[in-house]
């Protein structure tokens, strides 16, 4: 009788140990997945930071006063005012 109880206790312990081993394997796999996701997010963040820098540079270039003035002169055919005309209205 004691031998049967000892064997059942041993089998239960082996089963629990097996379950713990599977749980450890699952957790390690999840950790590896999280590290891969973290690495991917770092790369994506670096790419987005670079794109943001390029877009800011392009925005400052396109909205610079020299660019606006050249656009006004070349495309809109505007000319620079060389004389100031003063108009006095008399009553």
Phi, psi of 65 (to 5 degrees): -60, -35
Q: Give residue-wise pLDDT tens across range 57-80.
A: 999 888 888 888 888 888 887 777
> Does residue 34 carry a pLDDT above 70?
yes
pLDDT tens digits for range 42-62: 999 999 999 999 999 999 888
Look at residue 91 in the predicted model and tell me its pLDDT: 67
Segment 1-23 shows an average pLDDT of 93
Residue 21 confidence (pLDDT) above 90: yes
Tokens 């031998």 -> residue = 3
> What is the DSSP secondary-structure string of 21-70?
HHHHHHHHHHHHHHHHHHHHHHHHHHHHHHHHHHHHHHHHHHTSHHHHHH
């Amino acid at each position: 009788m004691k031998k049967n109880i000892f064997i059942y206790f041993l089998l239960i312990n082996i089963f629990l140990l097996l379950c713990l081993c599977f749980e450890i394997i699952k957790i390690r796999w999840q950790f590896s997945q999280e590290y891969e996701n973290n690495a991917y997010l770092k790369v994506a963040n670096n790419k987005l930071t670079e794109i943001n820098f390029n877009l800011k540079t392009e925005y400052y270039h396109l909205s610079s006063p020299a660019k606006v003035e050249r656009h006004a002169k070349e495309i809109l055919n505007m000319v620079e005012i060389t004389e100031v005309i003063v108009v006095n209205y008399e009553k």
